[in-house]
Amino acid sequence: MTDYKNFTVETDADGIALVTWDMKDRSMNVFTEEVMDELDKIIDQVVADAAVKGAVITSGKETFSGGADLTMLQKMLSVFAAEQAKDEDKAIQLLFDNAGRMSQLFRKLETCGKPWVSAINGTCMGGAFEMSLACHGRVAADSDKVKMALPEVKVGIFPGAGGTQRVPRLADPQSALQMLTSGQNLSPKKAKGMNLIHEIAAPDQLIETAKAMIKNGLKAVQPWDEKGFKLPGGPVYSAAGANLWPPAIAILRRETYGNYPGAAAILKCAYEGLLVPFDTALRIEQRYFTQIMRSTEARMMIRSLFVSLQELNKGARRPAGVPETKFKKIGVLGAGFMGAGIAYVTAKAGIPVVLLDRDMASAEKGKAHSAGLMDGAIKKGRATAEQKDQLLSLITPTVDYKDLEGCDLVVEAVFEDSEVKKGATQQTEAVIASDAIFASNTSTIPISSLAQNSSRPANFIGIHFFSPVDKMMLVEIILGEKTEDKAIATAIDYVRAIKKTPIVVNDTRGFYVNRCVLKYMAEAFQMLIEGVPAAMIENSARMAGMPVGPLALTDETAIDLAQKIMKQTIRDLGEGAVAADQFALVNTMVDTHGRHGRKNGKGFYDYPEKPAKKHLWAGLKDLYKQQDADKIDVEELKQRFLVTIALEASRVMEEGIVTDPREADVGSILAFGFAPYTGGALSYIDGMGVKQFVELANRLEGKYGAQFKAPALLIDMAAKGETFYDRFNPYPKADKAA
């Protein structure tokens, strides 16, 4: 046996080397420079040893590999930026050379003259799957834990280690392009159906099956390196090609609106690469990868959607020195839609949960919500009946507060009524331990106000979920004036336990997310009042990168809820706190036309019975005089949506509501889908340049009003040439983020 730091190599009596990848200092195997150096040496070792007939590579962990460590790419970008200041041409060449390192390594593996088989025993992502595709044989374990994907497009880049060339040379081109441009996960069955793996084996037979491929005479030559190789879908310049490529370009444009350079580069790589010999194709891929790595979108998406997201998921904002809470029991007050969802995600994490409501029928109905979600998962093949029974066994419906005894944490999700919440708080605190944490899921009432009902405000905190709880990955943790570190740490531990992403927010009306969302909706209301056709409003928002148009989003959350929020804001802050013409629009929709949103089948959209699809209400055009659509600047509409949200995010930072730019960026993407290609609301500003952003905001303010007034913070940052990640550096003890 030969030991490396990250691999072991053991050759059996048949001359087959088993290469086991197991990084001792990591929970998951990832490609680093050190790993690539070692794999390079192992390939040489296999080739040099005449007794070795071939090699099987597998993982010593439950998962195969998460792919490349994207912090390595961040380092590459930092080196590029430093060199660029001295010599741009040299910097680009250096980036090009670094971008090709992994691709060259995998090409060396597949042309080494001896057969390699990848034995995939768990999740196999990104660069690890590209390595597997470079192997001459691929076997995956028959397990729900095995997922294969090339998900790089989701963080602004693309599979740049041969993925764009090997996949369309193995699979039919339509399936290949769909997989590459979407980053979709493949099950073993799906991967085999696409010809991306050769065999599926029982988990305990995985290695033997892989070795058998070599024993049975597996060729050490890839199909594309053999004379006479034909593409699965036929030549690019053919009738079949003519039916594939133009629609593929159109579909990508429809899905991305041209906002994702990495996705467009995939089509270019595949199209151009399939016209030339394989080694030339890899150089084309390397060229495009170098280009995409230099894009603002890639830099911001890698930072927010990989590095920052990973850091927050690991508890970057958790107070130091507080012991981690291992939850024995969680209480949920209120078994309505939100409370039932919270109970579901808690039980899904394997934590016993007590679900309390005012009567047993309501509590049981809340538990039935979990049963329904599990039935849906079973129908889709994502869960089993046994898993459903196990999850439901962890949920105890009740009407008795005494059943909350022993809870480490209680989450209150009762009606948005201060008196109801006061009673729930006091009855709970009468039975739970003095050091247990009480959390409110309120979305509208300040946490410090609710904490006045508590006899232990230090242990009182907000845990704000988004609907639907089972699907939304973000949770806002809101601090009251007296909230102490133990409560913060416990809340973060809980959010991490249920596999969601926590951001920590100081107390304010609407917290962080809702403040931004309300600005998004308000700008749409203003556009309607100006006479912008509703279809242009919705389409321009989606073109800007938002997943849902603002009018559709308002319908989902309910127009009458928007009315209630406006009325409450006026009561609390005075009439000047709400735009009078927007308030009149909402009152007209609710009071005059009875249009409350999706819940009553009519809002800004009409919701006919299926199979008919929802469509914008024709009456919208009669509310205000319509502008000539041909004279409206769509680019400006797009800017208005993104700028109004980004301005509110910067105000939240200025007020100290959010203090870490990572949380503002990740929160804006996970909570309401703020144009992911920007890297988030603050990265949108940083990526444009604060000075340029302030100039844009000033132009919009001059045309459309005070909602676009840049706060003093931005004006100061622009004058000093700062970014948010300079001003609010989340890495004070280390180098700043790239």
| DSSP 3-state of 721 | coil
- Name the residue with tokens 């909570």: 671
Sign of the torsion angle spanned by Cα atoms 599, 600, 603, 607: positive
Closest CA to 124 of 65, 73, 44, 79: 65
| Orientation angle between helical segments 634-654 and 534-543, nearest 10 degrees | 60
User: In angstroms, rounded to a whole number, what is the distance separating the alpha carbons of residues 521 and 583?
Assistant: 12
Q: How many residues does the chain have?
A: 738
| DSSP 3-state of 47 | helix
Q: What is the CA radius of gyration of the chain?
A: 28
| DSSP 3-state of 616 | strand
Half-sphere exposure of 490 (CA within 13 A, CB side): 25
User: In angstroms, rounded to a whole number, what is the distance separating the alpha carbons of residues 729 and 738?
Assistant: 11
Any catalytic annotation for residue 136?
A: no
User: In angstroms, rounded to a whole number, what is the distance separating the alpha carbons of residues 627 and 582?
Assistant: 18
User: In angstroms, rounded to a whole number, what is the distance separating the alpha carbons of residues 276 and 264?
Assistant: 19
Write 691-700 long-range contacts (CB < 8 A, 24+).
691/718, 691/721, 693/643, 693/646, 693/718, 694/718, 696/639, 696/643, 697/643, 697/647, 700/636, 700/639, 700/640, 700/643
Sign of the torsion angle spanned by Cα atoms 218, 222, 227, 232: positive
Could you give the maximum distance between any two Cα atoms of the chain, in Å?
Answer: 86
Task: Give the start-end residues of each E strand in 537-596.
Answer: none
Are 131 and 118 spatial neighbours (Cβ–Cβ below 8 Å)? yes
Across 245-271, b (16+ Cβ under 10 Å) vs e yields beebeeebeeebbebbbbbbbbbbbbb
| DSSP 3-state of 226 | coil
**Neighbour tally for 329: CB within 10 Å:** 21
Are 679 and 691 spatial neighbours (Cβ–Cβ below 8 Å)? no
Name the phi and psi angles at 327, rounded to 5: -75, 125
Sign of the torsion angle spanned by Cα atoms 602, 605, 608, 611: negative
**Neighbour tally for 532: CB within 10 Å:** 20
Kindly name the residue from 136, 198, 464, 596 that is annotated as catalytic. 464
User: In angstroms, rounded to a whole number, what is the distance separating the alpha carbons of residues 32 and 354?
Assistant: 45
Are 701 and 680 spatial neighbours (Cβ–Cβ below 8 Å)? no
User: In angstroms, rounded to a whole number, what is the distance separating the alpha carbons of residues 642 and 419?
Assistant: 38
Residues acting as catalytic residues? 464
